[in-house]
Structure 1
Amino acid sequence: MLSPTRTRATLLSAGAAVAALLAGALSPGVAQAAPAAPVAPPTTPHESCRPDGLYKTPGVDVPYCSVYDTEGREKMGADHQRRIIGYFANWRTGKDGRPAYLASDIPWDKITHINYAFAAVDSANRITVGTDGPNNPNTGITFPGVPGAEMDPSLAYKGHFNQLTKFKKQHPDVKTLISVGGWSDTGGYNDDNGNRVNSGGFYSMTTNADGSVNQAGINTFADSAVAFIKKYGFNGVDVDYEYPTTMKDAGNPLDWQLANGRRAGLVKSYSVLMKTLREKLDRAGAADGKHYLLTVAAPSSGYLLRGMETFQVQQYLDYVNIMSYDLHGTWNEHVGPQASLFDDGKDSELAGANVYSTAQYGGIGYLNTDWAYHYFRGSMPSGRINVGLPYYSRGWKNVQGGTDGLWGKAASTTCPAGQNLTKCGDGAVGIDNIWHETDTAGKEAPAGFNPMWHAKNLEKGIVGDYVTKFGLPADTKLTGTYVRKYDSTLVAPWLWNAQKKVFISTEDEQSIATKADYVVDKGIGGTMIWELAGDYRWNAAKGQYEPGDTLTNLMYQKYKTATPYGNKKTNIALPAEAVKVDVELGQFALGDSNYPISPKMKITNNTTKPLPGGTEFQFDYATSAPGNAKDQSGFGATVIRSDHTGNNNIGGLKGDFHRVSLKLPAWQSVAPGASVELDFVYYSPTSTPSNWTVAFGGKTYSLAGDLARGVTIVEPTDGSGPGGPGGTCTNPAWAVTGEYPANTTVSHKSRNYKAKWWTKGDEPGASQWGAWQDLGAC
């Protein structure tokens, strides 16, 4: 997401919140042709460094070891056990009279990655940062007289890009990624004069007007992105596409007219985009001897994720950055923390949608960081996930009810122009909104949007000397007292001004320290920050807070001696041999119609052996959904283990997975190359199920589609070869003239069968619908 006014048209109103509980899809792997013989893992040293679950471009020796160690963990420097990813915003140049935040202000020794915000998709489907020239902040601007901001004369470009390259030479462990999109630039871009061009951006680049995949547009963009990062020295691409979801009116309201007509095709085309980028980056990396990163900023909202099926693109990503903020804001009247770590069972928005009282959904509150983390943990190792932290506030005025404003309401019917809302929250303004954006009519957009350094000054009763730079009078005075409040269950601080009825959701040392401890304890890869310019330090000479690195340094101190992050998708031991039996979930209903979540689960046998009746599948799905998934097709899907139980998630989900078992019906076999479908149902969003096993012929295998490290892809045995598992052919041979009562056992063509009912003349194995149950090889 990422960009000042994240009013994000997730629009989690009470009505939309019900929908938010109902999403997901499950689909590990795409069907692949079966090999003629067992295939061992590649012997190249680079394969030993591939992260668990990361897709590898076929036929390419991807140089993973340039970025990862032999355990598949990212190499970031001896004092960086976890990622600290900071977004750097290109518009804070100081040229507009407001405080600058330049590359020289970045705490380079404390962070591991910089995401540069933002590039866009132009009208020709290419990546763009505008036309080169002296006023271009990315490639042309200079900062004469600013210590530390001198240009590197050896580079062919100036601007922020010059500065990033210069400082990377001094800090070679820090990686930079170009972030494309964001709230403002997903569906268009601003031209060199600052005028918006409604080009369609990601929406039209990936998806044609009829909903089909725009492969030509995707190829053009991916080729331009590869050339771009090579030209400017970036280490990868970060896709901030907001949002490829089927939920109507999601994302920037300026994009709705074009995006809504393409909703049915967005998820598929998003997957094609990410696969194409992954493969082109892999090929470029192999040629250049370095692995290029591909990451995304992913939503944390259950509403948005409900329309993204099971986030199948996770397999193409080095890691995912969860935008675990903007969970409450002035797009509706509900007043609460924008980035709480946990649920407290009292969220007024969720309560209004009967989330807590509906047993079917397990009473699970989903507007919190812990829920979002567990959603992605269902399909990714914890180390390939980073949780997002806001270095900015959101706030309301005229708050009614609640406890010191918490879970109160602040309704307004005067919404910012261009948001296409008929009802919104009463956002804080003026001194409580200094980082404000303007609406499409050029007026201040009320949102309580402030850097943390300004929020700290409000808390201490200080009017900083910078307020005139944000359009406020020099004699500005504070009204009332901003009292810091903190809820330890939510892990959320806020400022409450009882006189003004102003509630400002914040972050500070206590909340960030607790979240950093959570990251370490869960084995999470690290944290992502929007944005670095919001951090603070105390300026004793001026007696005020200013931009600094207090919160970032706190995380650095927490992480530098932490244990290595989690590098496995599974929490259990899985077989070392994998077969090409593929599973995908599809045919999801679109938007608000996907209730309950009931896709088709398609099992495809890409081995050379049949899957007999009784073949058992097991898999894990995330505890972001309650442990009550089922099938409606007679496959007996049963949750056999739950890491989280209970009718809520107050204080956090207790574990990562529910494990499901289902079996092919006794009469149902799946021939090589054939598929079978079942109706699967679950009740809250969850990402792609993983950690699959399949058991038949007396042996259990993993599935190749999980992309696990260290497995060998084999052809399964059916017991007919030497030493193979199975029964013995001591049962009487089937005879075409024989009469067989129910439960009679026979042997035929090296397999045992049992009669389901009285039969004569029906050949065993001739039909999956026939009278005989396949008992396996003998």
Structure 2
Amino acid sequence: MRNTSRSRYTRVGALFSAVVVTASLALASPAAQAADGPACSTPWQSGTVYTGGQEVSYEGDNYRAKWWTNSEVPGASQWGAWEKIGSCGSEVPDPDPTETPDPDPTETPDPDPTETPDPDPTETPDPDPTETPDPDQPWTSNPDEICRPDGLYQTPGVDVPYCTIYDEDGREKLPNGLEHRVIGYFTSWRTGANDAPRYLASDIPWNKVSHLNYAFAHIGSDGKVSVNEQAAGNAATDKTWPGVAGAEMDPEYPYTGHFNQLNKFKKQNPGVKTLVSVGGWAETGGHFDADGDRIADGGFYAMTQTQAKIDTFADSAVEFIRAYGFDGVDIDYEYATSNSKAGNPDDFHISDKRRGQLWAEYEDLMKTLREKLDIAGAEDGKHYMLTIAAPASGWLLRGMEVHQIAQYLDYVNIMSYDLHGAWNNYVGGNAALYDDGKDPELAAGGVYNAYSNIGYLNTDWAAHYFRGSMPAGRINIGVPFYTRGWTGVTGGENGFGGSAPLPDQTKCPSGTGPSLGGNSKCGAGAVGIDNLWHDSDPQGNEVPSGVNPIWHLLNLQNGVVGDYVDAYNVPNAITGAYTHHFDDVTKVEWWWNNTTKTFITGDSDAAISAKANYVADKGLGGVMIWELAGDYDYNADKGQYEMGSSLVNLIHDRLSNSSPYGASKANVEMPTKAIDLQVKYSEFALGDNNYPINPRVTFTNNSDITIPAGAVITFDTATSDTGEMGEQSGWGITKIASDHTGSNVGGLKGDFHTYELKVPAGGIAPGASASTKFSWRLPMTQISNLRISFGGETFATLYDLPRNVTLASAPTGNGNGNGNGGTCSAAAWVATSVYTGGQTVSHGGKEYTAKWWTQGDTPGTDAVWDETRTCR
């Protein structure tokens, strides 16, 4: 039998083993103290000017200045001004020695900006030289560039028609008065079979939503997108509902079923977009055939193994949406992570063996889809959307590198639910908005101690994870119109935060408890009337999980046995009473039966109101609903709650009375000129061993401008991490700002940590690369909002895919940054002048850039100078 609910069962809560926690804690351990040694010199002081030969002490070591320096931290860079002499003892010399240099020497540059020269010496290089990049050179000729969302990849050479769905601020043009998206998953299986309540396209509140995702299509045995459309009677294209008001077929279309109905109502509501969602929990690693039998042929895991298979799939996706009138493709791949035993247990035999390759293959898939959809969109005169359903758990995201696919997505839908469930015994919220510092699973795994008291099983943490590389408006949070639950709960507050292990751990369902390794125990999932929308195992047995639509829980709360229970083959009697509860910190909503000790958690009015306010207040893109059929209305004639649209109405009312969503990646004004600097990430450990997260980060200069040594790279990272990034190759990383510090109880306070590092000796020539190793602790997406400063100017980078920038380039020469024939416009080098890193001079028919402080060193004869170009 096909599963009745096809729920997004998401095992996100696997515990950290003792080894993992130990490794995590080791990262934060303090450095060993230096042994006693020579007396420490005068302590280094920020803002004091030091000259070559002076000695200072800093954090238990003595240092000697190699040249003039001001505010550079000793030891921050192996290429910097300070030479380490050795460890020193506790004896501190006179803090005011007579040999302290004159703090105001006449030749000293302005002591405030560390590399800015004296602003008024006659020999200072022209701060606006004629070789400044041409401000009129756009980086793309697409006439619709003005409408492209910030950070969205555009297929090279293709004029994607962004303005068909985006405005000139890069915001999506939304229907029904909405300022934020309201995205509902419409499922294929609520057809009314076996007298169960049906939910058809005619039941969708079309005047309150912005997007609909049809769940699900799958990858067929031929590697193409399929809904079993060749099989007679399939729900998507060959089914009718005679006598059901509103379900009449539109004769315009050569097919019937859900697809006919979706297009029928889309004509009446032309602003609402529809996307076909491919995959899902049950069909990520296989698919259901026309008889409802699961074919375990590998699904995404198999399709992504070769580019030829990816091309076949992507071509079929374009053909599919053209044939059936969809506006885009939603990929629901659960999951392309390098963590072991992640996803559907039926797929472990293939996913675990290939987990080291899954993420790179996912990148190939998403890039290919983006490019083929862009090409098709240009041909058809409409922009086709590409979106994903992404996990919210830090455990799963740790195995997804830095989410390099974000650039290909119109937006991401975060599956910020299934954060707790009966796959283990820790009783918590299905979809907490915030952390409270007491999550039972995280506490048991030592996560709070390991990660600066930041908990990662909540919607707010996940939204900030993606905010690290995307504008707020390209992020939608998921809300569950369904529940999860346990029975036999002990402890906690009305069950919340308690424990409910299955008494007989030898009877755990597949993929739960001990089968996951470590000390995990499976939970005692709620069953019977508390498990209306339950899945079935391969033998047809009920999977205990407490999955119910919200309308059923409202009936239980009122002590009402609905007239639908027999259709779901569950008991038709209620034991005990259900009381409703809401936690003001986490915004978790739940129902507690004190007689049976049953705890059931899901989102109704209180949680949905909190999340709609969160989206509006944070400027996020919107909400994604799994699934619409869980919404409720009250049938007064029957005296019971049934399928309806009350929660969607609540969301719509809030998200149509707010400011437009945030459309910019950065929270600061970015430069309008950019250079083609790209960043790649590699050498990640597998997710289970990715402690700390320690990839190689490679900067590649694809411009024709030499990036000199000492150029300053500034970038942001998500506050989903603790803000303690390290750099391991001597570039000298410095955190210069943090929007959040401390625990995340009640939410992270801001979006970004901001860092600076300096390009090392040798710079980055045109076409060249330089790499280093970064280290951080909790998952985050890519470094973002790169600015690079040198030669008195700051540039954005094409790595960020910024909107409406002009592309900087060397105006003369042969394209390698060392061209001939240009005029020497930099000021002539003067032997007695002081120059600091990044300043440019001309000498002997060439221009040079200083790597660091210098005086009297002749350009072309000393390593302090980088030759920039030949001139006259």
Is TM-score (shorter-chain normalized) higher than 0.5?
A: yes
Corresponding residue of 2:771:
677
1:243 aligns with 2:335: yes
Matched, 1:257 2:357: no
**Is 1:286 aligned with 2:386?**
no
Structure-2 residue corresponding to 1:129: 227
The counterpart of 2:448, out of the listed 352, 356, 377, is 356
Q: Which structure 2 residues correspond to residues 55-454 of structure 1 after superposition, within 5 A? A: 55-77=153-175, 79-207=177-305, 214-358=306-450, 361-412=451-502, 413-415=505-507, 417-419=509-511, 421-422=513-514, 423-454=521-552
- SS at 1:691's partner residue? strand
Gaps of 5+ in 1: 23-34, 208-213, 734-744, 766-770
Deviations 1:315-374 (A, max 9, x none): 11111000000001111110000101100001011111222223xx22111100000000
After superposition, the C-alpha distances for 1:399-454 in whole angstroms (9 at most, x for unaligned) are: 11111111111112155544365231110000100100111222100000000000
Q: C-alpha displacement at 1:664, in angstroms?
A: 1.9
Distance apart, 1:294 and its partner CA: 0.5
Give the equivalent residue in structure 2 for 1:730. 830
Contact 2:848 2:865 in 1 (8 A): no
* 1:598 paired residue among 676, 694, 697: 694
Check conservation: 1:418, 1:440, Cα contact below 8 A: no
CA contact (8 A) 1:753 1:764 kept: no
Q: What is the SS of the residue equivalent to 1:661? A: strand
Decide whether the 8 Å contact of 2:427 with 2:497 is kept in 1. yes
| 1:583 shift after superposition | 1.6
Cα offsets for 1:240-298 (capped at 9, x unmatched): 01111111111111111011121111111111111111111111111111111110001
Residues 536, 542 of structure 2: 8 Å contact kept: yes
- Which residue does 1:737 correspond to in 2? none
**TM-score normalised per structure 2:** 0.81
Pick from 836, 848, 851: which aligns with 1:751? 848
Residues 247/353 of structure 1: CA separation in 2 closer, same or farther (3 Å cut): same
Q: Return closer, same or farther for 1:416/1:226 CA change in 2, 3 Å cut-off.
A: farther
Measured after TM superposition, the shift of residue 90 of structure 1 is 0.2
Partner of 2:52: none
1:654 aligns to 2:752 (yes or no): no
Distance in 2 between residues matched to 1:451 and 1:531, nearest whole Å = 9
1:77 shift after superposition: 2.3
Instruction: Supply the distance in 2 between the matched residues of 1:199 and 1:100 (Cα, whole angstroms).
Output: 31
The amino acid of 1:254's aligned partner reads D
Deviations 1:56-112 (A, max 9, x none): 111111111111111111112251211110001101101232111111111111111
Report the counterpart of residue 690 of structure 1 in structure 2.
784
1:374 touches 1:622 (CA, 8 Å); kept in 2?
A: yes
Distance change in 2, residues 1:425/1:716 (3 Å): farther
- Which of 702, 708, 712 does residue 796 from structure 2 map onto? 702
How far apart, CA to CA, are the structure 2 residues paired with 1:751 and 1:592?
48
SS at structure 2 position matched to 1:261:
coil
Match of 1:411, SS state, is: coil
CA distance in 1, matches of 2:610, 2:328: 30
Most deviating of 706-715 and 177-186: 706-715
The 1-side partners of 2:664 and 2:824 are apart by 31
Separation (CA, whole Å) in 2 of partners of 1:267 and 1:684: 18
1:369-399 per-residue CA deviation (whole Å, 9 max, x = no partner) reads 0000000011111111100000000000011
CA contact (8 A) 2:231 2:290 kept: no
Larger RCO of the pair (alpha carbons < 8 Å, separation 6+): 1
Aligned mates of 2:681, 2:712 — CA distance in 1: 18
Whether contact under 8 Å (1:489, 1:651) holds in the other structure is yes
CA contact (8 A) 1:747 1:753 kept: no
Shift of 1:772: 3.5
Q: Quick one: distance in 2 between partners of 1:409 and 1:131?
A: 45
Contact 1:697-1:725 within 8 A present in 2 as well: no
Cα 1:752–1:388, aligned 2, differ >3 Å: closer, same or farther?
A: closer
Q: 1:19 to 1:701 in 2, by over 3 A?
A: farther
Asked if 2 retains the 8 angstrom alpha-carbon contact of 1:18 and 1:354, the reply is no
Single out whichever of 43-52 and 447-456 deviates more from structure 2: 43-52
TM-score relative to the length of structure 1: 0.90
Q: Which amino acid is 2:427 matched to?
A: V
Quick check: 2:394–2:457 contact (8 Å CA) kept in 1? yes
The amino acid across from 1:452 in the alignment is I
2:620 to 502, 524, 534: 524
User: Would you say the 8 A contact 1:38–1:715 is kept in 2?
Assistant: no
- Distance in 2, matches of 1:756 and 1:693, equals 22
8 A Cα contact 2:425 2:522, kept in partner:
yes
Who is 2:49 aligned against?
Answer: none
Size of the aligned set, in residue pairs, is: 738
Check 1:415–1:185 CA distance in 2 against 1; reply closer, same or farther (3 A cut).
farther
- Most deviating of 603-612 and 161-170: 603-612
Corresponding letter in the other structure for 1:329: G
SS of alignment partner, residue 286 of structure 1: helix
- Cα gap change, 1:206 to 1:752, in 2 (>3 Å): closer
Q: Deviations over 1:100-139 (max 9, x none)?
A: 1111111111111110000000122101101434420111
Aligned to 1:10: 12
- Residues 396, 447 of structure 1: 8 Å contact kept: yes
CA contact 1:619–1:661 (8 Å) conserved in 2? yes
Structure 1 CA distance for aligned equivalents of residues 337 and 352 of structure 2 = 10
Inter-partner Cα distance in structure 2 for 1:397 and 1:583:
49
Distance 1:48 1:36, change over 3 A: closer
Render the CA deviation track for 1:681-725: whole Å, top value 9, x for unaligned: 011000111100111122111101111111111115889998988
Question: Against the structure 1 CA distance between its residues 457 and 280, is the aligned structure 2 distance closer, same or farther, given a 3 Å change threshold?
Answer: same
User: Which AA in structure 1 matches 2:770?
Assistant: V
Report if aligned partners of 2:486, 2:599 keep a CA contact under 8 Å in 1: yes
Identity of aligned residues (%): 51
User: Is the 8 Å Cα contact of residues 455 and 506 (structure 1) preserved in structure 2?
Assistant: no
1:1-44 Cα distance to aligned partner (Å, 9 max, x none): x964433343423539967998xxxxxxxxxxxx9997414455
Aligned partner of residue 96 in structure 1, secondary structure: helix
Could you say which residue in structure 2 is the equivalent of 1:741? none
Higher Cα Rg, which structure: 2
Tell me, in whole angstroms, the C-alpha distance in 2 between the residues paired with 1:416 and 1:325. 22
1:386 & 1:620 partners in 2: Cα distance?
21
Tell me if the contact between 1:38 and 1:714 (Cα under 8 Å) persists in the aligned partners: no
Structure 1 residues 332 and 342, CA gap change in structure 2 (3 angstroms): same
Counterpart-to-counterpart distance in 2, 1:760 and 1:701: 29
Q: Structure 1 pair 716/527, CA: closer, same or farther in 2 (3 Å)? A: farther
Residue 195 of structure 2 aligns to a residue in which SS?
A: coil
Q: Cα distance, 1:727 vs. partner? A: 5.9
Letter in 2 for 1:385: I
SS where residue 355 of structure 2 aligns? helix
5 Å-filtered alignment, 1:472-621, equals 472-473=570-571, 476-621=572-717
C-alpha separation in 2, matches of 1:527 and 1:319: 11
